[in-house]
Every structure is written in structure tokens, then in C-alpha cells.
Amino acid sequence: MAILTRTGRTLFAKTIAQTDIYLAWGRGDANWQDPTPEPISAAHLQAVIGYRKAKKVAFCEPDDTGDIMVQGGRFSQTTEPTQYLYCQFTFDFLDAAGETIREVGLMSGTVAHHSVPEGQVYLTPEQVDEPGTLLLLEHRAPLIREQGVRESFEFVISF
């Protein structure tokens, strides 16, 4: 049986790291009382509210004393490419204010409409020509966006 080697996984991580990575968040299904299982066949969020470009994308490695703490483990940032990609997102106070967030997804290759000013890092669905490829999907307990809170999300994607 053939396997995907660590160097092959690192190549995938390096390739993805070269794309624009956005965190899309959405309303999900208002009937969800609890988060539903994420289907592996998902290609998009159910009801996108907006997209935030990654504040930081870096390689990392498992480390029991590392300062990157995510569900599933601890990691340390490294300058050498690895099969682990760390992505950090920080939303501004008014991004999706008043909305209820039930789903988030990491998107690779999101393309903004040509009319979006250079450097704008938060996009509404109308400002997106191509949402990109859904890499990671998470259904979550409802999160109500309040104006006085800057939501922050961190993920480590393992290839």
C-alpha cells in the first residue's frame, strides 16, 4: 500500500501557504441547536457572512511546551517548512456585528472583486469573485458578534 510521505505533506503545506488564506464565517442553519457533524464532502459554507484574510500564516511543529495552543495540541512556530500550517485571524470590532456565527471555514485562494481596494482584508460575499477552496470546516455553538469584541481564531492544519 502506498503512503503519503512527510515530504509530500510538507509540499502540500508549502503550496497552500503561498495562496491567500481567508477565514469565512457564516450563519449556518438557524435550526442547529447544537453543532452538527461537518460533512467531509462539504465544498462551501451554508450561509457566508464574510471573509477575513489571515493575519499570520506560518509553519509549526508539535511541541508539548509550545506557545501555539489549539484544540488537539500545542505547537511551536518554525522557519523550516513542515506538514503543519498555523493560521491566525483577528476580526475587527464591526465585522459582522449583530450576526450569529455557527460555522467557520478556512479558504485557500479567495479572490476579491477588482473593485475592492488594495489592502482591504475583510470582504463581504458581494466583494468576492471566487470564494476559493474549502480546506477546513467547523460547525460551532452559536457565537453572537458584539461590537465591542474582536474575535480571534487560530488553526493548525495538518497535511
Asked if residue 100 is part of any domain, the answer here is yes
Asked if residue 108 is part of any domain, the answer here is yes
Query: Does pLDDT of 33 surpass 90?
Result: no
- What is the pTM for the complete model shown? 0.92
Asked if residue 117 is part of any domain, the answer here is yes
Query: Among 24, 39, 17, 21, which Cα is nearest to 85's?
Result: 17
> What's the whole-number mean pLDDT along residues 49-78?
96
Asked if residue 150 is part of any domain, the answer here is yes
Which residue, chain included where needed, has cell 467547523? 138
Determine the structural domain holding residue 61 and report its residue range.
Answer: 7-33+50-158
Q: Which pLDDT score is estimated for 155?
A: 96
**Which domain CATH number covers 147?**
2.60.340
pLDDT per residue over 90-125, tens digit each?
A: 999 989 999 999 999 999 999 999 999 999 999 999
Residue 25, strand partner residues: 50, 104
> What's the whole-number mean pLDDT along residues 145-157?
92
C-alpha cell at 143: 457565537
Question: Considering its fold, how many domains does the chain have in total?
Answer: 1
> From the CB of residue 85, how many other CB atoms can be counted at a distance below 10 Å?
25
Asked if residue 29 is part of any domain, the answer here is yes
Asked if residue 66 is part of any domain, the answer here is yes
C-alpha cell at 109: 485562494
Distance of alpha carbon 15 from the chain centroid: 16
How far the first Cα of the chain sits from its last, in Å, is: 19
Mean pLDDT for the chain? 95
Query: Does pLDDT of 148 surpass 90?
Result: no
Asked if residue 41 is part of any domain, the answer here is no
* CA dist list (Å): 93 to 37, 96, 102, 145, 147: 29, 8, 18, 9, 5
Q: Percentage of the chain surpassing pLDDT 70?
A: 100
HEC profile for 35-86? CCCCCCCCCCCCCEEEEEECCEEEEEEECCCCCEEECCEEEEEECCCCCEEE
The span from the CA of 113 to the CA of 110, in Å, is 10
The span from the CA of 98 to the CA of 137, in Å, is 22
DSSP 110: -
